[in-house]
Amino acid sequence: MQLQDRVAIVTGSGGGLGRTHALFLARHGARIVVNDVSAEQAQTVVREIEAAGGEAMALPASVTDEAAIEAGVAAVLARWGRIDILVNNAGILRDKSFAKMTIDDFRKVVDVHLIGAAICSKAVWEPMRERHYGRIVMTTSSSGLYGNFGQANYGAAKMALVGLMQTLAIEGAKYGIRVNALAPTAATAMTHGVLPDESLSRLDPALVSNGLLALTGEQAPTRAILCAGAGHFATANVTLTNGTYIGHDEGAGDRVIERWADIDDREGEAVPAYGFFQAEREVASAQRAAAA
């Protein structure tokens, strides 16, 4: 029971992967706040958790409704006095090729995935800072990390969540707040029709939820991107090649083309600890070139 008495909010947990997450965390001792746009579905999961001997409460609201989320967080604090874990799982799909996609399709997906996660993270941020403890999990996707046809809106939102994770992890470090991302592959209503039936049969959402124990426990890492599906786990990283100094004279643009192989050489690439790592290395390279 590694999460005994921890309080966890799981967004979009009235069904699908979110429900599986909620049940998993409850089995490991956490008190669960079941968030969903459907009050009926949220309450159904609450009853499931309670029937299994756990504690849970419903938070029926859209993650895009800032006032409702803030009121829900206040209700959680009034009942249990703390919020230890937030799993930003809520999401929608509006899949179409970019040529056929409307900006409204794009905006709605970004609003739920990205703005919704920001709203929920902001609502728990101060309570976590005050207690010097917090675990936040963003739900990213291979579609964001690597792209996927017909998912420009979804992929953009999912990669944006990685950027949000990176910065919140840096800002939360001194307050004991660790922020990570989960990139799941699971058979849910969102993946039916996207993956073949044979693949879906192996992608039980429960196999993804197992990764949450590492991301939400006492020994959780921070700034990790955990890819999970079919019982397989891996990490993804945003890396930076060593690159090469080109200079800034009239022929610099041509030399970027000529030396692309050197610029793109991945041997010895780094995982920057912070955004300014790139700028620091670029300036150091220029200084070395000037001194040569």
Q: Which residues are catalytic?
A: 154
Location of structure tokens 């005994």:
4
Question: CA 15 to CA 69: how far, in whole Å?
Answer: 19
**Are β-strands 85-88 and 56-60 bridged in parallel, bridged antiparallel, or unpaired?**
unpaired
Cα angle for residues 75, 132, 118 (degrees, 5° grid): 60
Task: Enumerate residues 6+ apart whose C-beta is below 8 A from 88.
Answer: 11, 63, 116, 117, 120, 121, 136, 137, 138, 139, 161
Give the C-alpha separation, 158 to 165, whole Å.
11
Using CA atoms, how far residue 44 sits from 19, 25, 33, 60, 176, in Å, is 10, 16, 12, 12, 33
Phi then psi dihedrals of residue 206, to 5 deg: -60, -25
| C-alpha pair distances (Å), 4 with each of 27, 50, 143, 166, 289 | 9, 15, 34, 28, 56
